[in-house]
Amino acid sequence: MSKTVKILIHICFWVSITLISFITVIRERPDDLLRYGILHIFGWVYSMPIFYVIYSLLIPKFLAKKKIILFILLSSACIILSAFSICLLDNPLRNLVGAEIINLRFSEMFLKGIFSSAIVVIISILLRFSVDWFTIQRIRLELINKNQASELALMKSQINPHFLFNTLNNIYSLANRHDDKVLDAMDKLSGIMRYLIYDAQSDYVLLSKEIMYLQSYVELQRLRLKDPESVEYSLNGNSGNLKIAPMLLIPLVENAFKHGDRKATKPNIIISLVIEDNILKFDVTNVIPKQAIEKDSGTGIGLSNMKKRLDILYNRKYKLQTSVEEGVYKSYLELELENEL
Say whether both 135 and 10 belong to one domain.
yes
Residue 156: pLDDT band with limits 50, 70, 90? very low
Residue 16: pLDDT band with limits 50, 70, 90? confident
Say whether both 74 and 185 belong to one domain.
no
pLDDT of residue 295: 46
Q: Is the pLDDT of residue 149 over 60?
A: no
Note down the domain range covering 79: 3-145
Last residue of a domain, one of 90, 118, 145: 145
Say whether both 141 and 156 belong to one domain.
no
SS (H, E, C) the chain: CCHHHHHHHHHHHHHHHHHHHHHHHHHHCCCCHHHHHHHHHHCHHHHHHHHHHHHHHHHHHHHCCCCHHHHHHHHHHHHHHHHHHHHHHHHHHHHHHCCCCCCCCHHHHHHHHHHHHHHHHHHHHHHHHHHHHHHHHHHHHHHHHCHHHHHHHHHHHHCCHHHHHHHHHHHHHHHHCCCCHHHHHHHHHHHHHHHHHCHHHCCCEEHHHHHHHHHHHHHHHHHCCCCHHHEEEEEECCCCCEEECCCCCHHHHHHHHHHCCCCCCCCCEEEEEEEECCEEEEEEEEECCCCCCCCCCCCCHHHHHHHHHHHHHCCCCEEEEEEEECCEEEEEEEEECEECC
Domains of the chain: total: 2
Say whether both 153 and 295 belong to one domain.
yes
Round to whole Å and give the CA distance between 136 and 1. Answer: 8
pLDDT of residue 301: 61
Round to whole Å and give the CA distance between 330 and 284. Answer: 6
Average pLDDT over residues 18-38: 66
Q: Is the pLDDT of residue 188 over 70?
A: yes
Residue 192: pLDDT band with limits 50, 70, 90? confident
Query: Which CATH number fits the domain that encloses residue 205?
Result: 3.30.565.10
% the chain with pLDDT above 70: 76
Last residue of a domain, one of 145, 167, 192: 145
Digit-coded pLDDT (tens) for 85-109:
878 777 777 777 666 666 767 788 7
Say whether both 19 and 132 belong to one domain.
yes
Say whether both 197 and 332 belong to one domain.
yes
Average pLDDT over residues 48-60: 88
Strands 205-206 and 242-244: antiparallel
Say whether both 118 and 157 belong to one domain.
no
Average pLDDT over residues 294-321: 74
Residue 13: pLDDT band with limits 50, 70, 90? confident
pLDDT of residue 152: 45
Digit-coded pLDDT (tens) for 196-252:
777 877 778 999 999 999 999 898 888 777 777 889 999 999 998 999 988 889 889
Q: Is the pLDDT of residue 296 over 50?
A: no
pLDDT of residue 74: 92
Does pTM top 0.85 for this prediction?
A: no
Say whether both 162 and 124 belong to one domain.
no
Say whether both 252 and 280 belong to one domain.
yes
Last residue of a domain, one of 145, 169, 201: 145
Say whether both 252 and 324 belong to one domain.
yes
Say whether both 136 and 259 belong to one domain.
no
Q: What is the mean pLDDT of the chain?
A: 79
Say whether both 333 and 209 belong to one domain.
yes
